[in-house]
Chain A
Amino acid sequence: MFELLDIPRVLVDPDGTAAGPDLPALSDEELRELYVHLVRVRVVDERMLKLQRAGRVGFVGSTFGQEASMIGTAGPLRSTDWLWSGLREGGAALMRGLPLSEYIAQMYCNSNDTAKGRQMCNHFQHKGTNYPSWSSVIGTQIPHGVGAALAAKRLGKDEVHAIYFGDGASSSNGFHSGMGFAAVWKVPCVFVLIHNGWAISVPADEQTGVEEWTDKAEAYGMPAAEVDGNDLLACYGAMETLIERARAGEGPSLLVVKTYRMMGHSSSDDPTVYRDEAEVEVWRQRDPIQRFESFLVGRGILAEGEGAGITTEITAEVDAEIHVQEAAPRMPLRSLVEDVYSEVPLHLREQYNGFIETVERHGEAQPGDGAFPL
């Protein structure tokens, strides 16, 4: 049944002062850690954009401006819960346990990449914390999350499935079937709609006629809430409530997270063609990291100026890892035909062997590239 849940939209005002008494029960140490995660997302993002401009990595979908929406909502998930991701949730994966080395290897699509360099950049995965990568096809992960949540329910696994997607994806087939099935089956999942204002160049209000995005939940029959996505603690608090509902068997819900995509859609996009810089400026004043930093400083959890030191430290850590991944070799050519099936079938071994003959003749084969036994 639809219900607009009584969950505060804002917990920390833009100037960093707490707006309400209902802050999530987090220790100073935990709050500090969340801050470090926020900073790490931004640093990694900036570094990747630099590498993209230098031609070292192919593509970057920046999260700049959306860090709190991601870290805040993913914060209360357990590592046994699942996070179904879209383009921009890589930072949440880092927080939940994706090693930085694997993150950067994925950006380089090199032989250290757990997906064997097969996906474009920005398609992270981490099996250890239940984080499958998205395909690239918008919205397809939404029903996957619902099906996996049904599996959890049937198999008696104590899991909640957090299903992330954007405002654009809310028009996809996957959204409609995912929301419908989840409501009928009452599965333990939370739909996390990251409303960042844009789907490439299409503004969010051209995806739907509704004004309140939480209304979407009414059509399918599940409760909803909306939060200020630039308020880390509001995101955390709201998600904590929805996760607990799901875990207690009360079924799915929709969380609308309002934030803003500060950069272009990706490194290939020039947003100045289709949007007003004045709008971006307004959101620049609402920076989620600054807001949380002011809050921490105000509470004495972080010293004035300490943030800069944390940034420097993380930057050094990221740069060191970049050097390691720069040096990693490409995947062996055999990986071209592996993992299509559980075993490489005869016809693919034959295709590969014919191909490698040509490669060898041109002197381009490396150790490990050789023919398959037939």
Chain B
Amino acid sequence: MANMTLIGAVNDALKTALREDPSVLVFGEDVGKKGGVFLATDGLQAEFGADRCFDTPLSEDGIIGTAIGMAMNGLKPVAEIQFQDFIFPAFDQIVSEAAKLRYRSGGQYTAPMVIRTPYGGGIRGGLYHSQSGEAYFCHTPGMKVVIPSTPYDAKGLLLAAIADPDPVLFMEPKALYRAVKGEVPEGHYTVELSTTRNVREGDDVTVVEKAADMAAEKGISVHVVDLRTLLPLDESAVVEAAKKTGRVVTVTEAPRFCGYAGEISAIVAERAIEYMEAPVVRVTGFDTPFPNTLEHHYLPDARRVIDAIEKVANF
């Protein structure tokens, strides 16, 4: 065991994969000598050589398009998109190609690959270095979408994603890169995809969060669920958690309309409405682009989450 940050755990997972499997390649913009703009790939090129960890030309479309071809022909690409905000030039390759390849070929061709990308606000990055775009990809059958929120999960989920036979978008909450630390086992282990984690046991309100563990202490016992894999989601875990308290708050940074929080509300409404004591409340970003100087007002901070918790607890 070693005590690591979340980004340290990502780095450790990549090293473990590169060591274990010669077909694994790590590439993207600035991942080589520089080790990534957040240093997630620090030291990989030095240790494994420029054939295994390398920079690409500045084209996300090229990065993902070529990753698909590599995956179709025996390599195991782990591509980095420098910021999730810059994934959209590759949207076509992800949505039209990677996600649909298995289906359209009747299972003859597949694209087992991982796209790692930092996402989310809290770094004063303005509207193009802060977005949470999970909803676009969760609306894309054929993709898997994973978000870790602890160092242990980051390594275990990333290794599981690399071993997975289908394309996985691995979204890393950049605000947590160095904000959380935890014990991480050495060597290979996996955290099974499509399983949730109970962050905190409680009886009064269930809070479904996709990443940040926000404090909620006002005499209300909060049950916090970290979804870990957004697609495919372990729906029954969400339903069980909702039934436990009968009061649910969902928290995401992304805009509200057509967002992931709405999906959770729908699942709870369809499968547990008879257990509910209060409306399911979403705490989200506004339906606006991501702001810059006012980002702390946009983000669903503890203040707004607690307001929502009180609202459903006292309904």
Contacts and interface: CB of A to CB of B under 8 A. Distances in A.
A208 B56 CA distance: 10
A273 B288 CA distance: 38
Interface in B55-101: 55-59, 61-62, 85-86, 88-89
Contacts of B142: none
A348 B287 contact: yes
Interface residues of A, number: 46
Contacts of A355: 286, 297, 304
B292 A207 contact: no
B307 A202 contact: no
A274 B34 contact: yes
Contacts of B292: 109, 117-120
B57 A274 contact: no
Contacts of A336: 286, 288, 291, 294, 297-298
A136 interface: yes
A207 B287 CA distance: 37
Interface stretch (A73-81, A164-172, A227-235, A293-301): A164-172
B124 interface: yes
B128 interface: yes
Contact of B291 (A118, A201, A202, A207): A118
Interface in B101-139: 124-129
B304 A351 contact: no
B287 A351 contact: yes
Given A200-B37, A201-B55, A202-B55, A118 B32 contact: no
Interface in A266-297: 268-269, 273-274
A137 B83 CA distance: 10
Contacts of B57: 168, 171, 202, 206-208
Interface in A330-358: 330-331, 333, 335-337, 340, 347-348, 351-352, 355, 358
B53 to A, nearest CB: 13
A352 B34 contact: no
Interface in A23-70: 58-59
B126 A273 contact: no
B89 A173 contact: yes
Interface residues of B, number: 39
B55 A120 contact: no
A358 B256 CA distance: 18
A172 B89 contact: yes
Nearest to A359: B297
B58 A169 contact: yes
Contacts of B89: 137, 172-173
Nearest to B32: A201
Interface in B126-185: 126-129
B128 A135 contact: yes
B226 interface: no
Contacts of B37: 200, 268-269
B271 interface: no
A111 to B, nearest CB: 9
Contacts of B256: 351
A323 interface: no
Nearest to B82: A200
A217 interface: no
Contacts of A207: 57-58
A199 interface: yes
B253 interface: no
A58 B30 contact: no
Interface of B: 29-30, 32-35, 37, 55-59, 61-62, 85-86, 88-89, 124-129, 256-257, 286-289, 291-294, 297-298, 303-304, 307
16 contacts: A119-B292, A120-B129, A136-B129, A171-B62, A172-B89, A173-B89, A201-B34, A206-B57, A273-B35, A274-B33, A336-B286, A336-B288, A336-B294, A337-B286, A337-B288, A352-B286
